[in-house]
Structure 1
């Protein structure tokens, strides 16, 4: 039976340079055993370099990496207790699914019969029982990805690494396979470090998300924390589109603050806000629109697009153009409609920059 040996991961003051270029700046983070943590960020932020250092495919310029409490900083990849699922799947095209899964075990010295029995168990674990004789070309993209996951899991690593594992799949298949990976991780309880640039993917699979920018950590937290309480305009926009609106903080009362835009006042979580000018991150689906004139926060619709289950609007206001997503398709409003802009109770946060 395949067992979980979930290990912790610790980065201590990691720096990585390529010549004169510093890719990672003083990175320190801890990943608890049995959790799925996603490294998320735009291209060039350092997330893949971080994963490659954990895998032993790159070595840090300075700092330490610990897996399960053991210092592995300078160990080669084959001496670390990790397995990696690559973006390209890296399956041998001339070998059956069963042989692909068994390959790592046989290469490490396990007897052929035992390795194939374990490989059968691995295929069953990922829902591919009975498909061991198929070549990779005879499998769908999602099935190939599951073969790659099975091959990694049967090695029973302390940490499973996943590098953009769904990027070669279409949107519908991505949703299904990410659910399968998450359910498998929760069922077996292994530690996983997952790299992606897809925000929806990160929100769907993660216990914790680490957003990277320019080789460092911009913000980390639970999916809900990062989406609902972004620390900056960069985080707010990266974790799903957001309107950044200038406002004034007029009152702070414990955990709540009152902001004012025009004549409109609205209560939001204070997040250590100070009285005076500030910025507000507002999700497109957290804005309400009502046909009106003489409103506290007036606007005019400049663009309207019907998308089946919602309407997208662009609304010109005194603070700039707002992007709004409204589920009320039965009352879609036309361009040039004067509206009163309001806010819902969630999806709104004071940000620092």
Structure 2
């Protein structure tokens, strides 16, 4: 199967609905062969952005380019894109092979060649032997793969995925997201993926675009967003960090010595100078100890979850959420603890100063 590749570019795109401005001014580029996820809370503009790229909504102003071609005013059926919907949107009265071949036949390809291409695409997504089944005879994950196959068989420049896993249970979501990512990397197609699930975005993306109120709050690799958030919003939204206060004692080159609740840690300075600072603290950034040096606190709540213990700790940093994967049994509520901080999982937030 030959897969085309296309770059996607938004140039100063604005979208208004009456007096409401959903997208004030969006400019970004998605490179050929890249999987970029649009992530954000409800109402942030991610689905509107996807729908404008698909041709289901028209920008109020600005340009959208696909593979170098201005498609801003082209209707959906004249854009070289294909979409996988949240609801799958399979034809219930058609077999799997008929569903996958439908778009090819509707575009004028004869039934024989259309079926041949559909069979090859079903093989790509691991659905050999299921061609004659009806959608109702498939599991949720299999139905999702039929929906992906139906889009891929058209060999679009860009595959659009709108909350594609939201109808699946947690275990199946992990499996199918891995399959989608493996397929995208193997075939090298460009993909734009919309989700509100942070873990899903971290797992499948080359880059993540976090949106807030219709603007790009931060765009970068999953690791960049998780380990180097540029704002408290990003730190809290990607991975649910504790937002804590500290003080930068000194800066030498690219590193800063930071006092955090009495413990001094060396961290990337991120352009900040001496003085008060805000930090993102991931739940695994501290080891929970009965005693010894560290940030003092008291157990406010604890929960044993098999391979780890979750704590809420009251102390010098306020109330924070900590995960301890080294303990066999949880400490009781009210127990005094010290938190041994480790640099991995701690980051200064540039926007905070």
TM-score by length of 1: 0.98
Q: Which aligned pairs between 1:254-269 and structure 2 lie closer than 5 A? A: 254-269=253-268
* In structure 2, C-alpha distance between the alignment counterparts of 1:329 and 1:307, rounded to whole Å: 11
2: CA distance, partners of 1:154 / 1:297: 57
1:150 and 2:156 aligned: no
Are 1:306 and 1:329, in contact at CA under 8 Å, matched by a contact in 2?
A: no
Mapped partners of 1:313, 1:23: distance in 2: 39
Task: Give the match's secondary structure for 1:316.
Answer: strand
2:210: which partner in 1? 211
Corresponding position: 1:319 with 2:312: no
1:345 to 331, 343, 346: 343
Gaps of 5+ in 1: none
C-alpha distance in 1, partners of 2:143/2:34? Answer: 24
Spell out the pairing of 1:1-353 with structure 2 (5 A cutoff).
Answer: 2-292=1-291, 295=293, 297-330=295-328, 332-351=330-349, 352-353=351-352
Q: Report the more deviating stretch, 4-13 or 318-327.
A: 318-327
* Equivalent-residue separation in structure 2 for 1:140 and 1:338 (angstroms): 50
Distance 1:91 1:16 in 2: 30
Moved more, 298-307 or 216-225: 298-307
CA distance in 1, matches of 2:345, 2:34: 26
Shift of 1:319: 3.0
Give the secondary structure class of the aligned counterpart of 1:119: helix
CA drift of 1:129 comes to 1.1
Count how many residue pairs are aligned between Structure 1 and Structure 2: 351
CA distance in 2, matches of 1:145, 1:330: 40
**Structure 2 alignment gaps of length 5 or more:** none
CA shift, 1:268, in A, is 1.0
Classify the secondary structure of the residue corresponding to 2:328.
helix
Q: Which digits, 9 at most, give the CA deviation of each residue in 1:181-235, with x for residues without a partner?
A: 0000000000000000001110010000000000000001000000001111111
* 1:101-122 alpha-carbon deviations (Å, 9 max, x no partner): 0000000000011111111111
